[in-house]
Structure 1
């Protein structure tokens, strides 16, 4: 057995359901080559814990309810920026295309459904730890469809701009909300128009809704 094989993958759990964390601890703890080094139900605490523990892989619940930090994708983005070298695998009960794309754009190395077989979770963790992508089959289909299909993919920042645009915000208001300059917002809009094949704010919002980038139910 070589040294790499003898070194367990150090895993940290971030999920706001204590029963889920307990179940994951038990499941992963019973699998050879895994060591769960910490867990928390709070996103901000998870980032601080990751800074201290330096895990190889963080299993992050996508539907975290920490409104101060955002959902699990937002927490993953912040964690990856704060703790370089750590890999994040998103864990969720739903594998919608928009969530999969957001997770990958945020830098996640994997996306696994909670209802999936344990082997999918194990594979995703091992793949992420080795620097590869570990995706559930459902997530992979969404990701491949978005890459090879005709629909363009916006960056995370561009999606944020579009969502504020959909709420009727002016460039100045968008700039203030995202802590950007108005010139930067205009640059983002030019790129968004090009990617979506639109030429004005109304058609851009319409196309964003069609692509599922904007939830109609969230609009004023």
Structure 2
């Protein structure tokens, strides 16, 4: 006779659990919540883009060949604009730009970088040592080759992150941006690979999964 009494209690508990989960994922008024893939993507991609912009400014300071200068200029403009949009989304969603969550935590359980699901470094990011090498590289071909190699790998990481978001979100503006990143950075990877070949060099080992 107790089962009919317990069943409503269990249902209420289940509804409360779902409500808490929905708030964490979608926040108020259907906006993405703090732990959502959309928020994690916006935060991490903003950081990822900031490094790309920094590397592009570094190579432009070396007065590179015109084709490298044009590429760096495009990266600075495109990724600075996109980074501003990421920050605008977080403000619109009433979320902080900083977080205690580890990078790539929004991908936990879904895999990234061709490996298992635990949070970890954002894929494709240059190390402090690599950035120091880029700043210290001799102007001309040595600096251009290193820039292209680091930026190809960096773009590969950006493509991975954007493709990961596409598997986790249906939110229009975020999905549209992720698709643009996949298309735009894939095209630039092809261009940079060609620019490397003209300089007698090859990309670093790819971090992309085989298709």
What TM-score comes out, normalization by structure 2 length?
0.27
More helix by share: 2
Highest Rg: 1 or 2? 2
**Higher relative contact order, chain-length normalized (CA < 8 Å, sep 6+):** 2
What TM-score comes out, normalization by structure 1 length?
0.26
